[in-house]
Amino acid sequence: MSIFFYFGRYLLFLRSMFTKPEKMNVYVARLFSEMVAIGIGSLPIVILISIFQGAVTTVQTAYQLITPMIPKTTIGIIVSDSTILELAPTITSLVLAGKVGSHIASEIGTMRINEEIDALEVMGINSAAFLGLPKILAGIVMIPILVIISIFLSEVGGILAGHLSGALTADEYIQGARSSFQLFNLQFSLIKAFTFGFIITSISCFHGYFTQGGALEVGESSTKAVVYSSIMILVSDYLLAQLFLEV
Amino acid sequence: MIELKDVRKSYQDKEVLKGISTVFETGKINLVIGASGHGKSVLMRSMVGLINIDNGSISYDDRILDYQNYDQTREIRRDIGMLFQGAALFNSASVQDNVEFPLKMFTNMTKEERLDRVNFCLKHVNLENVNSKFPSEISGGMKKRVGIARAIALDIKYLFCDEPNSGLDPITSRVIDNLIKDITEEFNITTIINTHDMKTVFDIGDNIIFIYNGDKWWEGTKSGVKNSNNKELQDFLDASYIE
In B, which residues are within 8 Å of A114 by CB distance? Answer: 86, 88, 91
Q: Which of B47, B105, B107, B143 to mutate to test the interface with A (most CBs of A within 10 A)?
A: B105
Q: What is the mean pLDDT of chain B?
A: 91
Residue B72 banded pLDDT, cuts 50, 70, 90 = confident
Q: What ipTM did this prediction achieve?
A: 0.89
A5 found inside a domain: no
How many domains does chain A contain in total? 1
Query: Do B86 and A125 make contact, defined as CB atoms within 8 angstroms?
Result: no
- Whether B241 has a pLDDT exceeding 70, the answer reads no
**Tens-place pLDDT, residues B145-179:** 999 999 999 989 999 999 998 888 888 889 899 99
Q: Which of A80-89, A96-105, B165-174 has the lowest mean pLDDT?
A: B165-174
Name residue B161's beta-bridge partners: B83, B193
Residues in contact with B177: Cβ distance below 8 Å, sequence separation at least 6, in sequence order: B164, B165, B199, B200, B203, B204
Query: Do B91 and A26 make contact, defined as CB atoms within 8 angstroms?
Result: no
**Tens-place pLDDT, residues A136-174:** 999 999 999 999 999 999 999 999 999 999 989 999 999
Instruction: Tell me whether residue B162 is exposed, middle or buried, using C-beta atoms within 10 angstroms of its C-beta: 0 to 12, 13 to 18, 19 or more.
Output: buried
A2 found inside a domain: no
Q: How far apart are CA A235 and CA A232, in angstroms?
A: 5
Give the 3-state secondary structure of residue A239: helix
A187 in reach of chain B (CB within 8 A): no
A133 found inside a domain: yes
> Residue A79: which domain range?
23-240
A137 found inside a domain: yes
State residue A2 phi and psi, 5-degree precision: -65, -30
A115 in reach of chain B (CB within 8 A): yes
Q: How far apart are CA A58 and CA B212, in angstroms?
A: 73
**Tens-place pLDDT, residues B113-133:** 999 999 999 998 889 889 999
A11 found inside a domain: no
A147 found inside a domain: yes
In chain B, the domains with their CATH numbers are 1-79+157-243 (3.40.50.300), 88-155 (no CATH)
CA B214 vs. chain centroid, Å, equals 18
The predicted pLDDT at position A1 comes to 60
Please answer whether residues B56 and B5 qualify as being in contact, where contact means their C-beta atoms are separated by less than 8 angstroms: yes
The predicted pLDDT at position B26 comes to 93
In B, which residues are within 8 Å of A126 by CB distance? Answer: 70, 74
What residues of B are in the A interface, CB distance below 8 Å? 45, 48-50, 70, 74-78, 80, 82, 84-86, 88-91, 101-102, 104-106, 160
A10 found inside a domain: no
Q: pTM of the prediction?
A: 0.90
A96 found inside a domain: yes
